[in-house]
Amino acid sequence: MWIDRIVELQPGARLVAVKNVSLAEEHLHDHFAADAAHGESALPVMPASLIIEGMAQTAGILVGHTGRFKEKVILAKINKAELSRDAGPGMTLRYTATMERFDPMGASTTGLVELLDHARGGSFGEIGRIDLMFSHIDQNMAGVEFPEHNFVFSESFRTLLRTGGIEAHF
């Protein structure tokens, strides 16, 4: 999971989620580890690919909720991903996904990524835009059999939805 909490839902329109970046996360120790041989200290940052995944999870929940979680929603395409700043330990990412299009075949969303650096105070500031397309795989993969249960929205997602005050029966 690359989001920690859902903080706002406008059904069918918008979903806002946050991710608190913590030094306890294993991936931060690899990006970028100290290099004593070259005198470089560690610079732990959350990889851009994981920030994009956080937006995909945020937008995917919006798409799933819009369809009442009846479809298996998967990321089909990243239309645009622009990030201007890294996120490190002690910072909070805020993802805002807005629905652009929703139909039986899938959906498209626009996304705003904001960052709050707690060490510097202040407020959230924009660091990127991520626009995504999603597919309802049961509608788009003719001849391919998938399990009946919704394997996309796992127990972790159910817990995230429940703690965000969102009812989901799937």
- Give the pLDDT score at 142: 65
Quote the CA–CA distance of 30 and 51 in Å, as a whole number.
16
Q: Which CATH architecture has domain 5-155?
A: Roll (3.10)
Residues of the chain falling short of pLDDT 50: none
Q: Report the catalytic residues.
A: 31
- Give the pLDDT score at 143: 66
pLDDT in tens, 59-97: 999 999 999 988 889 999 999 999 999 999 999 999 999
- Give the pLDDT score at 110: 98
What does the chain come to in residues? 170
Residue pair 166/65 in contact (Cβ under 8 Å)? The answer is yes
Query: How far is residue 107 from each of residues 76, 90, 148, 155, measured CA to CA in Å?
Result: 9, 33, 21, 23
- Give the pLDDT score at 153: 78
- Give the pLDDT score at 138: 80
